[in-house]
Amino acid sequence: MELTLTQPDDWHLHLRDGDLLQAVAPHSAKHFGRAIIMPNLKPPITTTAAAVAYRESILKALPADSNFTPLMTLYLTDTTSPNEIKLARRSGVVFAVKLYPAGATTNSQDGVTDLFGKCLPVLEEMVEENMPLLVHGEVTDPDVDVFDREKVFIDTVLQPLIQRLPRLKVVMEHITTMDAVRFVESGEEGFLAATVTPQHLILNRNALFQGGLQPHNYCLPVLKRETHRQAIVSAVTSGSKRFFLGTDSAPHEKQRKECSCGCAGIFNAPVAISLYAKVFEEAGALDKLEAFTSFNGPDFYGLPRNTSKIKLTKASWKVPDSLSFSFGNIIPMFAGETLEWQPCVGEKAEMLNEVQEVGANKG
């Protein structure tokens, strides 16, 4: 059994920088045509000039034969100017602006503290420039339970934002709750959408504790109850255009995960396509997989769909236990486990097509 899909894009990806960038970029470039690149570096990517320079670093980290295209973003701060949005749009390489509430996740300490005050002129300029706002949808109030922070963010930030600026294109990223599903479904198509990760489709919060503390299943937003996972699966496999692929692949060196204060983030780039196929197959919705992986994202962003193809073959393969690099090891999602769908792209996919055509002709 096999599937041929238009090559997917990843609409939420962390590539980091330095040695980590060199290590992980080829894994995403192997399977995806394009990716929206997160700007939460140290220091963050707050200007168009910084985005252009980061893009060059990414391109240099890619294999020589890669056609992967990084789509850059700006990190929204309380001091971002409307003029920076104009520069970003005119650059041709910046495609969105990312909202991190200050303190919400990795390297978010420079994030927004006053969205409706200091940032309002920037948001209004984004409407004029048709520049999407990508949202890490959690409040950071320590009095709000970590499992409730997405719902509270919807009620106190996103709902008022959309009411105030209904023409602002908003992507609620890595949604984790049925509350987020309902919110996205209630909005106007083409102006409100969501990305969904493989971990939030496959794992619930039990995966953090089964057999002991599991640091490689720890991400932000944190995994939620099974009822929430089921709601997200139902939404994604329904065929709705409002949901699209965003891995939130977020690599950290092993020792930064397995320590007394471990980092949040799951490195899923090597397995993401296989896991999405697993979810859609188990839901009886493989016919809707291509729209989720390859159509809904570019359509929302107003970009052309990819013309290249990827082939998924129903063939068992084992995920490596660890990936070793000069600086240390990275543990991929589902390390050491066997997956049932194996992706094949580019020349390999073309060769596979040719072999099948020859076999069919002989038959």
Global pTM reads 0.94
pLDDT at 361: 47
pLDDT at 111: 83
pLDDT at 357: 47
Instruction: Reply yes or no on whether the pLDDT at 19 is more than 90.
Output: yes
Share of the chain above pLDDT 90, in %: 90
Instruction: Reply yes or no on whether the pLDDT at 211 is more than 60.
Output: yes
Range in 102-106, 162-166, 258-262, 321-325 with the lowest mean pLDDT: 102-106
Confidence of residue 346 (pLDDT cuts 50, 70, 90): low
pLDDT at 104: 72
Helix, strand, coil fractions of the chain, as percent rounded to 5: 40, 20, 40
Instruction: Reply yes or no on whether the pLDDT at 222 is more than 90.
Output: yes
**Active-site residue, 19 included:** no
pLDDT at 356: 45
Residue 123, token pair as written in the block: 């948001």
| Mode of pairing for the β-strands spanning 323-325 and 2-6 | unpaired
What would the mean pLDDT of 14-38 be, rounded to a whole number? 98
Angstrom distance (rounded) from CA 301 to CA 161? 20
What would the mean pLDDT of 285-298 be, rounded to a whole number? 98
Angstrom distance (rounded) from CA 117 to CA 340? 50
pLDDT at 109: 73
Indicate which residue of 228, 248, 252, 311 is catalytic.
248
Instruction: Reply yes or no on whether the pLDDT at 227 is more than 80.
Output: yes
**Active-site residue, 136 included:** yes
Q: Map out the domains of the chain as residue ranges.
A: 1-342
**Active-site residue, 321 included:** no
pLDDT at 66: 97
Mind listing the pLDDT tens digit for each residue in 102-159? 877 776 777 898 899 999 999 999 999 999 999 999 999 999 999 999 999 999 999 9
pLDDT at 317: 97
The answer to whether 67 and 273 have CB atoms below 8 angstroms apart is no
pLDDT at 110: 77
By C-alpha distance, which of 107, 44, 112 is closest to 78? 112
Indicate which residue of 31, 136, 151, 224 is catalytic.
136
Instruction: Reply yes or no on whether the pLDDT at 345 is more than 90.
Output: no
**Active-site residue, 252 included:** no
Indicate which residue of 27, 98, 216, 311 is catalytic.
98
The angle subtended at Cα 198 by Cα 268 and Cα 200, nearest 5°, is 120
The answer to whether 168 and 127 have CB atoms below 8 angstroms apart is yes
The top-level CATH class assigned to 1-342 is alpha beta
Range in 230-239, 275-284, 345-354 with the lowest mean pLDDT: 345-354
**Active-site residue, 27 included:** no
Please name every residue paired with 344 in a beta bridge, in sequence order, or none if there are none.
Answer: 311
Mind listing the pLDDT tens digit for each residue in 32-82? 999 999 999 999 999 999 999 999 999 999 999 999 999 999 999 999 999
The angle subtended at Cα 255 by Cα 251 and Cα 260, nearest 5°, is 110
Indicate which residue of 10, 12, 27, 311 is catalytic.
12
Contacts (Cβ under 8 Å, ≥6 apart) of 79: 118
Residue 312, token pair as written in the block: 């998924």
**Active-site residue, 362 included:** no
Mind listing the pLDDT tens digit for each residue in 161-210? 999 999 999 999 999 999 999 999 999 999 999 999 999 999 999 999 99
Please name every residue paired with 36 in a beta bridge, in sequence order, or none if there are none.
Answer: 71
Instruction: Reply yes or no on whether the pLDDT at 1 is more than 50.
Output: yes
| Mean pLDDT score across all residues of the chain | 94
Instruction: Reply yes or no on whether the pLDDT at 362 is more than 70.
Output: no
Indicate which residue of 9, 10, 14, 252 is catalytic.
14
Angstrom distance (rounded) from CA 48 to CA 107? 19
Angstrom distance (rounded) from CA 112 to CA 85? 16
What would the mean pLDDT of 281-304 be, rounded to a whole number? 98
Indicate which residue of 31, 151, 174, 257 is catalytic.
174
Map tokens 């602006």 to a residue: 97
pLDDT at 363: 46
The answer to whether 341 and 278 have CB atoms below 8 angstroms apart is yes
